[in-house]
Amino acid sequence: MSTTTATGRKVKTGATLANTVVYLLMIIGGVIMAVPFLWMLSTSLKPDGEVFSYPPQWIPSTFAWDNYKLIFTDAHMIRGFFNTMIVVIPTLVIGLFACALSAYAFAKLRFPGRDKLFMTLVGTMVIPGAVMMIPAFIMFKTFGWTDSWKPLIIPGMFGAPMTIFFFRQFIKQLPDELEDAAKIDGMNPFGIFMKIIIPLTKPALITQGILSFNAGYNDYLGPLIYLNTPEKYTLQLELASFSSYYVTEWTLIMAGAVVALIPTLILFAFAQRFFIEGIALTGIKG
């Protein structure tokens, strides 16, 4: 009896020690990842002369709150935010619906050439975006879409291969019996998609919605290529206006970055439970 108790204590002690090491490593990793954000916040409150001071100062000698006032007066941050939402929201809503619908077809419907078509779609994921940059610009210039939001909105409405792949892996794990029961009740494939698949894929939709929002919200290269009129600039281009050939206003850039970070933090704070669930439930098999 004593031997069993001693063995149990050793096992419990070993498990506690392992958990302690894991939590310690996680805390260290969290601190390391938080350092750049803390430095960004510190720099945003510094006067210009303290940005490159040595040794570095984490706490500014004087808190320059005017930096946050200047980013709204000199860079038109509010206008840039609304322009960004004009680009991101239609692409996000319509693009997610199109991707989910395509993923449902690849995961549950049977039609000739389905697997070959899906493999072709997956194969496009290995094509670097830089390779398609010049052909896309020439095509959109031919359409007369340059200096407008159309090249930033319309292509995203038709979905992205990675998003379709992500949704397919999630939908493929849903039981086929749910579809069979719906078919017995006389429901067509689109009705099954809207009333059964969409509610069950809410974690995946929210997860991919966060990822897609961040991608569009932080996109700098696309607006830089297609937009010429300052009134149409997105948030990232407004932030870039603080950097010129002769001088870079680091304090204002950091202040703008702090403000630009707030919407993504709020979005993740409200949706983190679904985000973690969507990542955990989405497999890579099949």
Q: Using H for helix, E for strand and C for coil, what is the string for 211-248?
A: HHHHHHHCCCHHHHHHCCCHHHCCHHHHHHCCECCCCE
Confidence check: pLDDT of 223 > 60: yes
| pLDDT tens-digit readout, 66-84 | 888 888 877 788 888 999 9
Lowest-confidence segment of 202-211, 237-246, 269-278 by average pLDDT:
269-278
Confidence check: pLDDT of 15 > 80: no
Q: Which CATH number fits domain 68-281: 1.10.3720.10, 3.40.50.1820, 3.90.1150.10, 1.25.40.10?
A: 1.10.3720.10
Q: What is the pLDDT of residue 4?
A: 58
Spell 13-42 as b/e; 16+ CB within 10 A means b: eeeeeeeeeeeeeeeeeeeeeeeeeeeeeb
Confidence check: pLDDT of 41 > 80: yes
Q: What is the pLDDT of residue 84?
A: 92
> Which one has a higher pLDDT value, 285 or 225?
225
**Considering the chain, what percentage of its residues have pLDDT values greater than 70?**
89
Q: How far apart are CA 223 and CA 40, in angstroms?
A: 24
Q: What is the pLDDT of residue 283?
A: 47
Confidence check: pLDDT of 265 > 60: yes
- Least Cα distance to 158 among 77, 200, 96 occurs for 96
Confidence check: pLDDT of 14 > 80: no
> Average pLDDT, whole number, for the chain?
83
Confidence check: pLDDT of 172 > 60: yes
Yes or no: say if 42 and 60 are a contact pair by the CB < 8 Å rule: yes
Q: What is the pLDDT of residue 2?
A: 53
Q: What is the pLDDT of residue 266?
A: 86
Confidence check: pLDDT of 146 > 60: yes
Q: How far apart are CA 190 and CA 104, in angstroms?
A: 10
Residue 242's CB: how many other CB atoms inside 10 A?
20
Cα torsion through 166, 169, 170, 173, rounded to 10 = 180
Mean pLDDT of 152-161: 85
Q: How far apart are CA 258 and CA 156, in angstroms?
A: 27
Domain ranges of the chain: 2-44, 68-281
**Considering the chain, what percentage of its residues have pLDDT values greater than 90?**
7
Mean pLDDT of 139-144: 90
> Which one has a higher pLDDT value, 5 or 30?
30
Tell me the C-alpha to C-alpha distance, in Å, between residue 14 and each of 19, 28, 145, 166, 209.
9, 21, 64, 38, 41
261 band by pLDDT with thresholds 50, 70 and 90: confident
Q: Which two tokens stand for residue 145?
A: 């879409």
Q: How far apart are CA 223 and CA 65, in angstroms?
A: 29
